[in-house]
Amino acid sequence: MIKTPVLIAVAAVVACHAQPPRQFQAQSLSTIVTTGPAGSETVDITNVAYDVTGAAIPGRPRDQRLVLRKTTHSRQVTDEIGMEASTTLEAWPFPGDLKQKPIYSLTVSGPDGRTVDGSLFVISRGLEEVDWWSVYKLGTAEHLFDTYVPLTGFSISRQIVKQRYAGLEVPPDDAADARLKEAHVVAVLTYASAERVIREALITCDDPRQASRLRSYSDTARTVALVEASPAGAALRIAFSQVYPSAPSTVTVQVPVAGDDLDLARAQVAPKLHISAWKR
């Protein structure tokens, strides 16, 4: 009994030292540097931004907030098309010591990134003519999916916010997955929560030449939108349109959202197109 107060005091001291500091300060340098001859300068830009998230981030303790440090670096030659760019995201528990090792550090090629709904980090990957984005879990930096249309977010419940996301991947000719190089493949539709990919669906076309046109980054514009499809309820509408000066000749695929999944059996597709469940 005599030792109890001592043990309590020691435990309190240890707990005190184990806690991160309630107040902290950090700063990082943003820079712009030019080199090279006039008219053909190389411009290097580094920008650093800090942010503090809300709590309840998927993949983290429910009451934990994060300090985020986003660093973007770009290099461009003024008389050349295109650029090199990368985005780095680092995360620490809030409050915390930013001199310590971060929970994670993610670096991806791309000129910028942003948080979405306090649960995702979306990085713009397009550096030249093709716009596309990679979607990551904010709590762990785990990659969820890629999309070649802006990320579509929506709630599947009217009573409470139950956020879901959709994207459309249009595979390049050198796709790592050999199945996506097949001549009839058009795109992959992704339906996901902030925690996981719930469903992927492969869109194909009977006509390989039409499939090639619909896959084209330069000749075709694509959109994904949530629409009301009464009486079935909400649906995802994927539209493929030829760009000017060609006539739009828009073809669509419309997939109902039923419960918390895509109802592929009731999908409405344009002639020659098909959609089916698919897994990586």
Do 233 and 160 lie in one domain? The reply is yes
Do 74 and 184 lie in one domain? The reply is no
Do 88 and 157 lie in one domain? The reply is no
The answer to whether residue 211 is domain-embedded is yes
Q: For 272, phi and psi rounded to 5 degrees?
A: 75, -10
How many distinct structural domains can be found in the chain?
2
d(CA 76, CA 84): 7
Last residue of a domain, one of 49, 84, 117: 117
Do 156 and 279 lie in one domain? The reply is yes
Do 146 and 278 lie in one domain? The reply is yes
Last residue of a domain, one of 100, 117, 134: 117
What six digits make up the tokens of 100?
Answer: 């310590």
Q: Are 128 and 135 in contact (CB under 8 A)?
A: no
Burial of 235 (0-12, 13-18, 19+ CB in 10 A): buried
pLDDT number for residue 161: 81
Would you write out the chain's pLDDT as a tens digit for each of its 280 residues?
444 443 333 333 334 444 555 676 777 788 999 998 988 899 999 999 999 999 999 999 999 999 999 999 999 998 888 889 999 999 999 987 888 999 999 999 999 999 999 999 999 998 777 899 999 999 999 999 999 999 999 998 877 788 999 999 999 988 999 999 999 999 999 999 999 999 999 999 999 999 999 999 999 999 999 998 656 679 999 999 999 988 999 999 999 999 899 999 999 999 999 999 999 8
The answer to whether residue 13 is domain-embedded is no
Can you name the residues that pair with 13 across neighbouring β-strands?
Answer: none
Do 112 and 192 lie in one domain? The reply is no
Question: What type of residue is 79?
Answer: D
The answer to whether residue 93 is domain-embedded is yes
Do 146 and 236 lie in one domain? The reply is yes
What is the extent of the structural domain holding 279?
142-280
pLDDT number for residue 228: 82
Do 58 and 156 lie in one domain? The reply is no
- DSSP H helices, the chain, are 4-18, 208-215
Do 183 and 56 lie in one domain? The reply is no
